[in-house]
């Protein structure tokens, strides 16, 4: 397949309506009272103990904002997979691709600002009545909280989303919606998430950088998001576009989830993942379209990132789709 045609088949470049395929795709569409942002693609599931909110938007034309109505939920986990935005707590918290953040809220309705482009994230809220018990079961959480639960808003820390955490997320794709059982199934899944997340969080620490470096980082990430599949994408090219030296550009990424090259690779791998889900194209074709050095390099990078090889990932998805079609035949 010619590269021009192949690239046009990407979900980010198609105007064809696509069925929702986030981690919470098994849930029916729900109310948007907790998260009323004008995004078409989202899933929300709420109990008196937890709330799960996922948004996966293939293209936002202009920056958008929304407030999160916290209700009785006080401990929040924000898993940001694709895109960039800001969460306004006591200080603005930058949300970038491949980051997991944890924060505690006693009051207020924090505002979430989403930049233009693709956006995909999942938010979990935990009712305040469970906080003491959680800190007993997870001593690391108690360390993270310190005296933060006495403040209206407190940031607990962040961690890059690595393969083990992605494996926990991928397990959601095996769920099926049950009117009674889903709440218990998701609550049990939370335990796996907490076990992995709390031990990895860097306490009270946001991705570092002074004000000028933060602005440069934000501009560079936006540039990478728009051009990551360019054949000549490199640190030097991005630095030239930002009108800074490669050294200064690299410095602005220090303390972040990814280096400059790592960020380019992250976007390419996330799009490769969508190729594997939504197309029958070969690994060689995907590697060529996204400018990997060769299919073997692509396969190694994919397995390192997601903990599973691309062929095995595709086979698992096809097996699940086949099971769903047999179990729930279309009329």
Nearest to 258 by CA among 159, 187, 134: 159
Task: Please count the CA atoms within 13 angstroms of the CA of 144 that sit on its side-chain side.
Answer: 31
d(Cα 234, Cα 113) in Å, to the nearest integer? 28
Which segments of the chain have a pLDDT < 70? 1-18, 30-40, 59-61, 147-150, 152, 204-212, 321-331
pLDDT score, position 8 = 29
pLDDT in tens, 146-174: 765 667 678 888 888 888 888 899 999 99
Cross-strand partners of 102: 77, 157
In this prediction, residue 241 carries a pLDDT of 86
What is the rounded CA–CA span in Å between residue 124 and residue 77?
A: 5
CB distance 133 to 280 below 8 Å: no
> In the prediction, which pLDDT does 327 show?
52
Q: pTM for this structure?
A: 0.65
Give me the residues paired with residue 80 across strands. 99, 121
Give residue-wise pLDDT tens across range 208-253: 444 467 778 888 888 898 889 888 899 999 998 887 888 889 988 9
- CATH number for the region 14-203 comes to 2.60.120.10
- The 3-state DSSP class for residue 41 equals coil
What is the structure's pLDDT at 212?
A: 64
Concatenating the DSSP letter of every residue in 191-205 gives HHHHHHHHHH-EET-
Task: With CA atoms as reference, report the closest residue to 175 among 160, 161, 192, 198.
Answer: 192
Q: How far apart are CA 145 and CA 89, in angstroms?
A: 16
Q: Is 85 helix (H, G, I), strand (E, B) or coil?
A: strand
Query: Tell me, what's the pLDDT at 1?
Result: 32
Sign, Cα dihedral of 280, 282, 283, 285? negative
What's the rounded Cα separation, in Å, for the pair 303 and 320?
Answer: 20
| Homologous superfamily, domain 211-321 | Homeodomain-like (1.10.10.60)
b/e code 20-41 from CB counts within 10 Å (16+ = b): eebbbbbbeebeeebbebebeb
Query: In the chain, where are the structural domains located?
Result: 14-203, 211-321
């Amino acid at each position: 397949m010619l590269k021009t045609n192949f690239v046009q088949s990407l979900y980010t470049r198609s105007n064809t309506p696509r069925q929702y395929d986030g981690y919470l795709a098994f849930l029916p569409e729900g109310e948007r009272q907790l998260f009323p942002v004008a995004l078409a693609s989202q899933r929300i599931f709420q109990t008196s103990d937890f709330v799960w909110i996922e948004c996966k938007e293939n293209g936002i034309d202009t920056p958008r904002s929304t407030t999160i109505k916290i209700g009785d939920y006080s401990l929040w986990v924000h898993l940001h997979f694709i895109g960039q935005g800001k969460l306004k707590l006591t200080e603005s918290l930058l949300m970038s691709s491949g980051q997991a953040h944890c924060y505690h809220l006693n009051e207020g309705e924090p505002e979430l600002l989403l930049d233009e482009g693709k956006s995909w994230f999942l938010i979990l809220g935990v009712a305040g009545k469970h906080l003491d018990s959680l800190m007993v079961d997870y001593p690391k959480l108690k360390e993270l909280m310190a005296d933060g639960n006495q403040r209206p808003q407190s940031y607990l820390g962040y961690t890059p989303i690595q393969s083990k955490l992605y494996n926990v997320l991928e397990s959601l794709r095996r769920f099926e919606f049950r009117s009674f059982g889903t709440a218990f199934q998701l609550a049990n899944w939370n335990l796996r998430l907490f076990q992995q997340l709390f031990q990895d969080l860097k306490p009270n620490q946001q991705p570092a950088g002074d004000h000028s470096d933060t602005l440069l980082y934000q501009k560079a990430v936006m540039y990478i998001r728009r051009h990551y599949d360019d054949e000549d994408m490199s640190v030097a090219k991005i630095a030239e576009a930002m009108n800074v030296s490669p050294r200064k550009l690299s410095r602005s990424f220090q303390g972040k989830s990814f280096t400059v090259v790592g960020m380019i690779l992250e976007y390419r791998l996330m799009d490769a993942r969508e190729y594997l889900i939504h197309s029958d194209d070969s690994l060689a074709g995907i590697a060529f379209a996204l400018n990997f050095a060769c299919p073997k390099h692509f396969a190694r990078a994919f397995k390192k990132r997601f903990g599973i090889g691309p062929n095995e990932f595709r086979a698992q998805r096809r097996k699940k789709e086949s099971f769903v079609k047999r179990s729930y035949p279309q009329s």
